[in-house]
Amino acid sequence: MRIRCPFCGERSHAEFSYLGDAAPTRPNIGTRATVPDTTLFVDYVYMRDNRPGVMREYWQHVGGCRSWLIVERNVTTHAISNVASAREQVLAATEGEHP
């Protein structure tokens, strides 16, 4: 499998490290002043869907520029349909939230 890093170009997947599914969002489990509902966090960490088809996944280019990427990959065929910088996607999604 080959992954096209937006900064380094197409490289072997051996240069990348897989983190996991990019879809789940970290739950807000409260502050130290309150008793947190840890079941939400346990579900976030351990309970993942394992469906065939296209998934958005976090990968890091550890053998290159070390950037975190979001790779859209069909987990059945390993066909990659899109690769984007995770940092740029987060900045675009949170634009205007910080002064």
**Chain position carrying tokens 């990019």:** 22
Binding-site member from 40, 65, 75, 84 for Zn ion (CB under 5 A): 65
For residues 30 and 7, give the distance between their C-alpha atoms in angstroms, rounded to a whole number: 38
Segment contacting Zn ion by CB under 5 A, of 33-41, 44-52, 55-63, 90-98: 55-63
**Least distance to Zn ion from the beta carbon of 16, Å?**
9
Q: Are strands 9-12 and 17-21 parallel, antiparallel or unpaired?
A: unpaired
Q: Considering the rule CB under 5 A, would residue 5 count as an interface residue with Zn ion?
A: yes
Q: Considering the rule CB under 5 A, would residue 8 count as an interface residue with Zn ion?
A: yes
For residues 59 and 69, give the distance between their C-alpha atoms in angstroms, rounded to a whole number: 5
Q: Give the CA angle between residues 89, 23, 75 to the nearest 5°.
A: 105
Of 61 and 73, CB closest to Zn ion:
61
Binding-site ranges for Zn ion (CB under 5 A): 5, 7-8, 61, 64-65
